[in-house]
Structure formats: C-alpha cells, structure tokens
Structure 1
Amino acid sequence: MSELIKLDKTQFSSIISDHREWLSSGGRSGKQAVMKDYDLLSVKLTGLKFPYVDFSDMNLSGLDFSESDFSHSNFNNSILDEANFSFAKMRGADFTGASLKKTNLTHADLLSTVCSKATFEGAELSEATFIFSNLQHANLSSINSVSAFFSGAHMDMANLNNSSFLSCDFKGASLYKASMSQSRFNESIFVDANLDSADLSASTFTSANLKRANLVQTNQKDTFMSDTILASSKSDEPIISFNISGPTNLSISYNVVRDQISYLTDAVNPKPVSLKEFLSLPGVKGKPFMQSIANAFVNISKSIHHSKSKGK
C-alpha cells in the first residue's frame, strides 16, 4: 500500500476549488475530489460545503466533520470510528459497509442515505435523521438515541439489540426480521411500521405507539409494554407469538382490539385460557377495563383452539 500524501492548507484549498468547478460545470471542467490517496489529519474538515466527494475505502477514524455538508458523498467501506459528524449534512451519502463505531452523529442529517451493512455500534444518534434511509443489515447495537428519526427507513434484518431508542420515530419503517432484543423503545412511534418476524424479546415499549404496526410472527417473549397503543395492529392469523410467561405488562394499554386480545395465547401450543388464569395475570387483576374484555378474550381463545383442532 502506497504512503498517503500529506495535505497542507494550500493544497487542500486547490482540491476544493477544482471540485467546486467540477460541480458547477456538470463535470465538464474541474476535477471531482477523490480523497483516498490523501492524509487528512492536518486539514480542517469542519464547516465545509463539500458535497459529492469520494471518501471511499479510507481510514477517517477520529476526524471532525461537524457542521459540514457532505451530501451525496461516498464513504463506502470507510472506517469512521469515533469521528464527529454532529450537525453535519450528509443527505444521499453512501455509507455501505462503513464502520461508524462510537461515532458522534447527534443532529446529523442523513436523509435518504445508503447505510446497508454499516456498523454504528456504540454510536450517538440523538436527534439524527435517517428518514427514508437504507439501513438493511446495519448494526445499530449498543447505541444511545433520543428523538432520532427513522420514519420510512428500510431496516430489514438490522441489529438493534441492547440499545436505547427513546422517543424515536419509526413511522412507516420496515424492520422485517430485525433483531430488537433487550432494547428500550419507550415513547417511540411505530405507526404503520412493519415488524414482521422481528425479535422484540426482553425489550420495553413503555408509552410507545404501535398503531397499525405489523407484528406478524414477532418474538415478544418477556417484552414489557405499559401504556402502549396497539390499536388495529396487523396479524396474519389470530394467534401470534406474544409470550406472557415473562413480565409483560398490559395493565395500562388501551385501544386493545380483537387481534391484540389474541396475543395473550401461546403460539407454539395454542390452547384455551381460562377466565381465572386471565384475571390472575400481573397487571390485570383489579383493572376494570381488562376485566371487561376477559369474556371476549376467553371466547376468542376457545374459538381459535377449536378451529385449530378441527383442522388437524
């Protein structure tokens, strides 16, 4: 591997000037900035307006890109661990396969970025925007995020385990087969989100909004839900995997409809649940609303069991 070229301020200014001419001329003159042969340690990268730059296959660990505009730039397969992108604008950028471990992305604008197979492990994403971004197979484990925006994002088979997503917006996002175990999603919004076959085990959804979310075949073993909206959530069959053997709390949930009542049965071995068993569940006893749906719950459970048995 050849030694990187160290840039001084004058050389870097020349590269920026050629790049801006390339942009303004539509590629007819000037030259696109391709940075892989340069050592950027000695140049200032904060506060720059530098879109469409090629930073692919570089080691940019620890560098400060804060408050800069790198929209539509290419960071494909680059190492950006512990870098600072706070308040940076990176709309439409490509981070495919990039490593952003412990990277600061607070208030960063990553609208419509491509982050498939990227690693954000341990990153700070509070108030970051990933709206309509591609985060398929991305690693977002062990991260801290408050009020981040993932609405409309493609997050199929992403890893969100052991993370904190407080008051985040996943409205309309696709999280098919996503791993979301042992994480906190308190006060987050999942309206119209697709969580088909996602692993939600041992996670908490206190005061979360899952209205019209697709929860088909999700693993909800030991999932904790309190004051959670589940109205009109979708399922492909009456019984899906909502395991009540662990500390699942539905005591303050509301807008519970027929499909949600049926979650309280065992998907692995469907069987009727008695009224006595239902009323003795933690959080149900002494709650007038939950008692009022008890009879409906038992009737649905028995009806499901009868139809399953008849089909064998």
Structure 2
Amino acid sequence: MSELKRVTQEELKVILDSHKRWLETRCSLAPEGACADLSGTDLSHANLKGADLRFANIQGANLSMADLQSSKLNYANLAYANLERTDLIGADLCHANLIEAILARADLREADLKGAKLVGADLSNVHLVGASLRESNLFGAILTDALIISANLQGAEMSGAYLKNADCYGANLQEANLTGTILKGAVLTDVNFKRTNLSHAVMRGADLQGADIEGANLFGADLSGVDIPKSKKKQRDGKRRAKAL
C-alpha cells in the first residue's frame, strides 16, 4: 500500500479556495478553480471545521481525529477513508459515499447522513445521537456499542448490519430493512419499528420496552428472552375497552 501524502494547513487552504471557486462556477460555461482531490492524503488532526467539501474526492484519506464539525460533505467521496475519532458534529454528509469507511468512535451528533452509502463501514462505538440517517445504506455495517439515541433511520437499509449492545433508545427505525441484522443485547427502548422488516434478525436479550412494533415483520427473528411489546394500536384498544367496562 502506498504511503499517504501529508497535506499542510497552508496547502489545504489553497485547495479549499480553489474548490470554493469551482463550486461557485461549476455550472457555468467556464468554471474556475478545481474540484478538490484529497484522495490518498494524510489529513489526520487537520482543522476543517465548517469547510465546504461538497463533491470532493477524499477516497482513502486519513482524517482520523480531524475537526470537521459543521462541515459540508454532501456527495463527497469518502470511501475507504479513515475517520476514526473524527469530530463530525453537525456535519452535512447527505448522499456521501462512505463505503467501508472507518468511523469508529467518531462524533456524529446531529449530523445529516440522509441517503449516505455506509455499506460495510465500521461505526463501532460511534456517537450518532440525534443524527439523521434517513434512507441511508448501512448494509453489513458494524455498529457495535454505538450510541444511536433518538437518531432517525427511517427507511434505512440495514440488512446484515451488526448492532450488538448498541443503544438505540428512542430511535426511529420505521420502514427500515433490518433483515438478518444482529441486535443481540441492544437497547431498543421506545424505538419506532412501525412496518420495519426484522425478519431473521437476532434480537436475543434486547430491551424492547415501550417499542412500537405495529406492522413489523418478525418472521424467523430470534427473540429469545425478549418480552414482545403490544403494538401501540393494541394498547390504545385495550385502554378504550377498559374505560368502557
């Protein structure tokens, strides 16, 4: 494997300025600047707070422990990049390519990852509290011990993902596909599983207290040691019947 090229803060400023001109003129007949190509570079510990890197090529780069808080990375190519322990609080990663990226222990609180490609990505111990991952692709992703509290994963593709011991308290997983997903020991309290596909999921020992499973597909799921909650509809019906007595 070739050695990554170290980019200084001064060089980075030049690249970002050129990228900014390209973004502003890319739809014109004579675009200026150039789309940032930071693929295969070493940007560990770099200060990129608030940077606009939409559409940039950052494939295979090392961004570990970099500051990317509130940055714009829409449609950026971050496949195979190392973002371990990176600060991505409030970052915009809509439709970004993060296939097989390393995001272990990254801070993605309140980040927007709608439509992002996270196939095979390592998100172990990641901080996704309040993040949006609507319609994202997390096929085969690793989310062991991840904090996914109050995150929005509606319509996400999560089949074959590994969420052992993940804390998903209050998360929205409505209409997501969790076929064959490992949820062993996960905290699923107050999770919205409406019309979610949980067929063949392994949920052994998971905490489903207060979860809404109305219309969920649990065919072939391993629910050993799990108390299946009544659907919200059944709970409401039960309350109405009790009042009528």
TM-score (norm 2): 0.79
2:8 is matched with 51
1:166 positional shift: 0.5
1:34 is matched with none
2:150 is matched with 197
Deviations 1:77-110 (A, max 9, x none): xxx9731111100110011111111111111000
Query: Radius of gyration: which is bigger?
Result: 1
Judge conservation of contact 1:81–1:99 (CA < 8 Å) in 2.
no
Matched, 1:151 2:80: no
Q: Secondary structure at the match of 1:61?
A: helix
Question: Where do residues 1-312 of structure 1 align in structure 2 (5 Å cutoff)?
Answer: 49-53=6-10, 55-56=12-13, 59-61=17-19, 82-235=35-188, 237=189, 239-244=190-195, 248-260=196-208, 263-265=211-213, 282=217, 284=219, 287=220, 296-297=227-228, 300-301=229-230
1:146 positional shift: 1.5
1:143 positional shift: 1.5
Amino acid at match of 1:157: E
Q: Secondary structure at the match of 1:59?
A: helix
- Cα 1:136–1:50, aligned 2, differ >3 Å: closer, same or farther? closer
Q: Secondary structure at the match of 2:128?
A: coil
> How many residue pairs are counted as aligned between the two chains?
221
Q: Secondary structure at the match of 2:118?
A: strand
- Higher helix fraction: Structure 1 or Structure 2? 1
Deviations 1:99-146 (A, max 9, x none): 111111111000100000101111111100000000000011012221
Name the CA distance, whole Å, in 1 between partners of 2:106 and 2:225: 37
Deviations 1:265-302 (A, max 9, x none): 35xxxxxxxxxxx8xx6462xx4x66x869952xx539
- Cα 1:50–1:161, aligned 2, differ >3 Å: closer, same or farther? closer
Name the CA distance, whole Å, in 2 between partners of 1:200 and 1:81: 34
Name the CA distance, whole Å, in 2 between partners of 1:241 and 1:295: 16
- Cα 1:176–1:294, aligned 2, differ >3 Å: closer, same or farther? closer
Amino acid at match of 1:253: A
Name the CA distance, whole Å, in 1 between partners of 2:205 and 2:51: 43
Amino acid at match of 1:214: D
Name the CA distance, whole Å, in 1 between partners of 2:210 and 2:199: 16
> Structure 1: any 5+ residue segments left out of the alignment?
1-46, 64-79, 267-277
Q: Secondary structure at the match of 1:155?
A: coil
Identity across matched positions, percent: 20
Name the CA distance, whole Å, in 2 between partners of 1:249 and 1:256: 16
Name the CA distance, whole Å, in 1 between partners of 2:8 and 2:139: 36
2:27 is matched with none
- Cα 1:200–1:48, aligned 2, differ >3 Å: closer, same or farther? closer
- Cα 1:93–1:262, aligned 2, differ >3 Å: closer, same or farther? same
- Cα 1:152–1:257, aligned 2, differ >3 Å: closer, same or farther? same
Q: Which has the higher contact order (CA 8 A, sep 6+)?
A: 2
Name the CA distance, whole Å, in 2 between partners of 1:81 and 1:153: 29
Q: Secondary structure at the match of 2:211?
A: helix
- Cα 1:81–1:97, aligned 2, differ >3 Å: closer, same or farther? farther
